[in-house]
């Protein structure tokens, strides 16, 4: 379980948000939504301690990640898989090596173990035939799927998706949403999805955290979001051109 408690962050005296508190239960999928620049990616980067807050705590399975030493923080980070914005694949290596990267960096697995784990991850995302492809040969949807294969290769407890459907056509975006749901069910992963895509929110999320006006403005179940009378949330949803 992830417990975010009274988090506050500013950069050079400029406040991003304050008093952000919510819980992510095991097995849940939470969508973090809000306007550009409201601090969604900054919040993701706190959840695996890539950024440190001004004040507040994040408890991962009971431990405050900001109080861990270097070694324990490194161990904690291995509980997380991350699909970065834009997929962030290395151009100079093929699909297999992109997915193998976390195994080579974090583990001492043999070549055979690396091969088996990479191929298993590629099968999950239906790309077992693309292992030899160079990054430049992959479509946008395939890049996202390779990014997801890389995110799950260490068999994480938690997976964070930063804009998983951005830049994709609706059909390919739908396939990525199905993959996110499939991953959550088959691998029992707890998922955190940063997105602007309200269709994706409705497809994948159990819970929503809405950042607005330098705070966590609304949080609750997706079903409650549909019936909410929260003015800013409704206006955000309306502006996303998705009618619910
Ligand atoms: N390392 C940093 N140093 C200084 N300011 C930063 C840093 N990272 C983010 N910011 C600022 O924090 C604010 C929130 O950024 P963030 O990337 O989290 O927004 P976002 O909600 O994810 O936006 P988008 O939807 O456009 O990706 C922005 O004003 C950004 O310029």
Residue spans of the domains in the chain: they are 26-49+69-239
Q: Give the per-residue pLDDT at 91.
A: 86
CATH 3.40.50.300 holds for 26-49+69-239: yes
Q: What is the pLDDT of residues 10-23, one digit of tens each?
A: 999 999 999 999 99
Q: Give the per-residue pLDDT at 167.
A: 87
Q: Give the per-residue pLDDT at 183.
A: 87
Q: Give the per-residue pLDDT at 227.
A: 85
Mean pLDDT for the chain overall: 92
The Cα 61–Cα 64 span in angstroms is: 9
Question: In testing the pocket of ligand 1, which one of 39, 50, 165, 167 has its CB within 8 Å of the most ligand atoms?
Answer: 39
The Cα 77–Cα 66 span in angstroms is: 12
Q: Which residues line ligand 1 (CB under 6 A)?
A: 11, 16, 34, 36-42
Smallest CA separation from ligand 1 atom 26, residue: 36
The Cα 157–Cα 30 span in angstroms is: 14
Contact 32, 4 (CB under 8 A): no
Give the H/E segment covering residue 81.
Answer: strand 80-83
Residues in the chain, overall count = 244
Question: In testing the pocket of ligand 1, which one of 38, 41, 167, 213 has its CB within 8 Å of the most ligand atoms?
Answer: 41
Q: Give the per-residue pLDDT at 176.
A: 93
Is the predicted pLDDT of residue 109 greater than 90, yes or no? yes
Give the pLDDT mean for 104-128: 95
The 10 Å Cβ neighbour count of residue 34 is 24
Q: What is the pLDDT of residues 145-188, one digit of tens each?
A: 999 999 999 999 999 999 999 888 999 999 999 999 998 988 88
Task: Say how many Å lie between the CA of residue 41 and the centre of ligand 1.
Answer: 7
Give the H/E segment covering residue 173.
Answer: helix 170-186
Ligand 1 nearest-atom number relative to CA 38: 21
């Amino acid at each position: 379980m992830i417990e975010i408690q009274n988090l506050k962050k500013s950069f050079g005296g400029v406040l991003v948000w304050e008093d952000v508190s919510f819980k992510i239960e095991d097995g849940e999928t939470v969508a973090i939504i809000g306007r550009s620049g409201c601090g969604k990616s900054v919040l993701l980067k706190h959840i695996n301690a890539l950024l440190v807050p001004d004040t507040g705590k994040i408890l991962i399975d009971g431990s405050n990640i900001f109080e861990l030493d270097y070694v324990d923080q490194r161990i904690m980070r291995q509980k997380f898989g991350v699909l970065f914005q834009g997929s962030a694949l290395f151009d100079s290596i093929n699909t297999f090596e992109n997915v193998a990267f976390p195994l080579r960096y974090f583990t001492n697995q043999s070549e055979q173990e690396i091969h088996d784990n990479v191929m298993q991850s590629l099968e999950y995302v239906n790309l077992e035939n693309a292992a030899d492809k160079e990054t430049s040969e992959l479509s946008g949807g395939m890049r996202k799927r390779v990014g997801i294969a890389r995110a799950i290769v260490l068999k994480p407890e938690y997976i964070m998706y930063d804009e998983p459907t951005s830049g994709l056509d609706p059909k390919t975006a739908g396939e990525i949403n199905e993959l996110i749901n499939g991953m959550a069910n088959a691998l029992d992963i707890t998922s955190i999805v940063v997105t602007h895509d309200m269709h994706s929110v409705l497809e994948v999320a159990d819970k929503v955290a809405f950042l607005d006006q330098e705070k966590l403005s609304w949080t609750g179940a997706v079903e409650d979001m549909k019936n909410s009378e929260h003015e800013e949330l409704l206006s955000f949803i309306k502006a996303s051109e998705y009618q619910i």
